[in-house]
Amino acid sequence: MPNTTVKIYSDFSDAPSILKEFLYYSQTIRGLSPKTVESFYIDLKLFFKFMIQKRSSCINKTINDIKISDIDLDFITTITQSDILEFLYFVTNQRNNSPSARARKISSLRGFFKYLTKKTNQLEFNPTDNIEMPAIKKRLPKYLNLEQSIELLNNIQTSFTERDYCIILLFLNCGMRLSELVGINITDINKDTLRIIGKGNKERIIYLNDACIDAINKYLEVRNTIVSPISEPALFISKKTKRRMSNRRVEQVVDECLKLSGLSNLGFSTHKLRHTAATLLYRSGNADMLALKEILGHEHVSTTEIYTHISDEELKKAAKSSPLASFKKSNK
């Protein structure tokens, strides 16, 4: 039975036809997630509003009040590279967009104009060609160390302890994304394996260790007394609604468990548990980069390489191991 996670996003009712076609293509043909397509929509809508305001000096509306439904191919054909650069200047100085936010907008524009030039041949010129991505500082992923992970697992005492313990344990052991965990159905479990539907509806199989299998079995004993798997296939359910948990509800559970463990207000979150799993797996020495890539569902190994970061303790130890660490200048 397929995953049935319900995701509600915009219906793009205020978008012009040419933009709708690109958004529908992105989700149905390219298989991009609704969240990614929604970000395309937000970025491109702002760009078109900016262009209308720029081209129509008589408009006395704020940019947020401008409608884009009349945008057509003739209008888009007039867009130049200078317009793109001016838009990026606008979001930098008027909207205080960070380099990563600007990079996302460039990516959205590139996808749209590539669709018009390469896929549908509606345009001859791509105004995003040769526009470079802004430099983005790479940050080390924040994660719980082993002691904090154990502390978190040892202090889960909630109104649905079996479920919440199982959720945290799967996050810490399997490194799955929030949407992947929420989308799990009971039928996705097969002895010691778990079927996951990741980004772009890509399927992968992950192996469950003994701790995960035990936690799932103990949770199912309670879960199946609340609602039958036939009427609700979701693995993780709300005790109140007897339906699949939402992404937000899982985030609330994680926040509650972090608070119970004295780990709140330290910058940890649901996604940081994924970072934690990846870091602990890599540091165990039993998971190489390619194995970790498959476990996490990354498309490129370069994405996985952020988990090879070196701890402060290791850096300190390395510095002290220098043969010149104790050197003192002689007084002659």
Counting Cβ atoms within 10 Å, is residue 40 exposed (0-12), middle (13-18) or buried (19+)? buried
- What gap in Å lies between CA 298 and CA 330, rounded to an integer? 54
DSSP letter for each residue of 273-313: HHHHHHHHHHHTTS--HHHHHHHHT-SSHHHHGGGGPPPHH
Per the annotation, the verdict on 309 as an active-site residue is no
SS3 61: coil
Per the annotation, the verdict on 271 as an active-site residue is yes
Catalytic hit among 114, 142, 242, 271: 271
Catalytic hit among 105, 274, 275, 293: 274
CB-based contact 238:249 (threshold 8 Å): yes
- CA distances to 39, 95, 261, 263 from 149, in Å: 33, 38, 10, 10
Nearest alpha carbon to residue 206 among 255, 159, 274, 252: 274
Catalytic hit among 49, 102, 104, 298: 298
- CA distances to 36, 247, 250, 326 from 177, in Å: 15, 10, 11, 46
Per the annotation, the verdict on 95 as an active-site residue is no
Catalytic hit among 115, 143, 165, 307: 307
SS3 83: helix
Catalytic hit among 110, 114, 199, 309: 199
Contacts of the segment 27-32: beta carbons below 8 A, 24+ positions apart: 30/200, 31/200, 31/201, 31/202, 32/200
- CA distances to 82, 100, 250, 309 from 139, in Å: 31, 12, 26, 10
Per the annotation, the verdict on 298 as an active-site residue is yes
Nearest alpha carbon to residue 175 among 258, 294, 264, 288: 294
Per the annotation, the verdict on 143 as an active-site residue is no
Per the annotation, the verdict on 177 as an active-site residue is yes
Catalytic hit among 45, 102, 163, 177: 177
Q: Give the catalytic positions in this structure.
A: 177, 199, 271, 274, 298, 307
